[in-house]
Amino acid sequence: MSQTVTQNLRSTAIETAYDVELRNVFKVFNGDAAVRGVDLSIRRGEFFSILGPSGCGKTTTLRLIAGFEMPSSGEVLIRGQLMTHVPPYRRPVNTVFQSYALFSHLNAWDNIAFGLRIKKQPKAEIEDRVREALRLVKMESLATRFPGQLSGGQQQRVALARALVNHPAVVLLDEPLGALDLKLRKEMQAELTTLHRELGLTFIMVTHDQEEALSLSDRIAVMNQGQVEQIDTPNRIYEQPLTPFVAEFIGDTNLLHGKIEGFHPTTLWVTTANGLKMTVTLPELTTPPTSGQVMVSVRPEKIRLSLSPPTGQVNWFEGRLQSVMYLGTHVHYLIELQSGDRLTVMQPNASSTLPGPQTPIYVYWAFGDCLALPA
């Protein structure tokens, strides 16, 4: 059976542009749906991230691809081959876990070679492949060390090498950098990007870290309560969110609840309950509403500040500075407008002199820098 599965995988590999497909997949645990109607098509060679808060279903989705869970309904395909009856060890995927899952009694070399030995690969081939995997993750000099003698970043590299040594079609990354400190996480992000580019393999990463997903991914699926809210490139996910959840989860944003007072195919005129009147753009591919309630999203870094009334601006409002938080490269401001609405503003640290609390101040932004989203 395994030989047939392998032959089918090879024969379909040239027939589809997708390495992984999920078609209307549900996964139910004790009557509760952890994954609800998920559709994904992940292209060959893509770095694809599944992003969302704890409990949103992202890890369950990864486990469905790996074969550690079976879907309650729907289909999982890898390179065009239906995976319904294919166990995890027969699937052309390998998983890198957050905990690394290394064998403490084996050194780095033997951890990497373990899977090949189980498959009874020839000794010479095992040595060649382990040596190449160690070279890829820059761990050749530490091959004889045991996990307890390695740092967190070094253990992560061994776990990556153990996945790569099997020549998988798809590498699954389950919160791969979550156990590392900030500096090391940044270094490993750069190494993952380089490794992905060199190998040309499909990487699928699960993470709750927005910055990590934005910096590494070709495309991102944002999940919420078991469903995919949006799939797009990092730039479009951030600049053109389709729902308030995506806007708020990806980075920071100001959300203002308002009523539509007028419309144009690409523009709305919105008034909040406190009387704030705004000119707002609609996200692309969104059917323009003509009436009703919307949420207006404006990113903190899109808002500008002025000590005098700005000229030539559509959206500008008077307020008072409530607090200033110095963050080194940036400064975080909290502004209370005369309407009573509160806005957070993030600006580059370009001045050594900062205004103090209770300073009268004006905020303004271009109408193209705010979006109307479903309420």
Reply yes or no on domain 252-374 having CATH 2.40.50.100: yes
315-326 vs 277-281, strand pairing mode: unpaired
- Using a pLDDT cut of 70, give the percent of the chain over it: 92
**Residue-wise pLDDT tens digits, 317-342:** 999 999 988 888 888 999 999 988 99
3 pLDDT more than 50? no
The confidence score (pLDDT) of residue 288 equals: 54
The confidence score (pLDDT) of residue 284 equals: 64
Mean pLDDT of the chain: 87
Spatial CA neighbour of 56 closest among 257, 215, 210, 241:
210
Task: Sketch the domain layout of the chain as residue ranges.
Answer: 2-239, 252-374
Residue 283: helix, strand or coil by DSSP? coil
Distance of CA 337 to the CA centre of its chain: 33
Angle formed by the axes of helices 152-164 and 123-136, to 10°? 130
Range 273-281 average pLDDT: 88
The confidence score (pLDDT) of residue 218 equals: 96
Q: How confident is the model at residue 286 (pLDDT cuts 50, 70, 90)?
A: low
205 pLDDT more than 50? yes
User: Whole-model pTM?
Assistant: 0.85
The confidence score (pLDDT) of residue 333 equals: 92
- Using a pLDDT cut of 90, give the percent of the chain over it: 47
H-helix segments, the chain: 2-12, 58-66, 108-118, 123-136, 152-164, 182-199, 210-216, 234-239, 244-249
CATH superfamily membership of 2-239 = P-loop containing nucleotide triphosphate hydrolases (3.40.50.300)
Q: How confident is the model at residue 14 (pLDDT cuts 50, 70, 90)?
A: very low
In degrees rounded to 5, what are phi and psi of residue 44? Answer: -65, 130
Measured over all CA atoms, what is the biggest interatomic distance in the chain, rounded to whole angstroms?
Answer: 76
The confidence score (pLDDT) of residue 139 equals: 86
DSSP string covering 133-148: HHHHTT-GGGTT--GG
> How far, in Å, CA of 335 to CA of 343, rounded?
5
Token digits of residue 306? 């002025």
Other CB atoms within 10 A of residue 149 CB? 12
Highest mean pLDDT (candidates 74-78, 101-105, 356-360):
74-78
123 pLDDT more than 50? yes
Contact present, 188 and 177 (Cβ < 8 Å) = yes
**Residue-wise pLDDT tens digits, 248-267:** 999 899 999 999 998 877 78
> How far, in Å, CA of 276 to CA of 318, rounded?
11
Highest mean pLDDT (candidates 46-60, 253-267, 307-321):
46-60
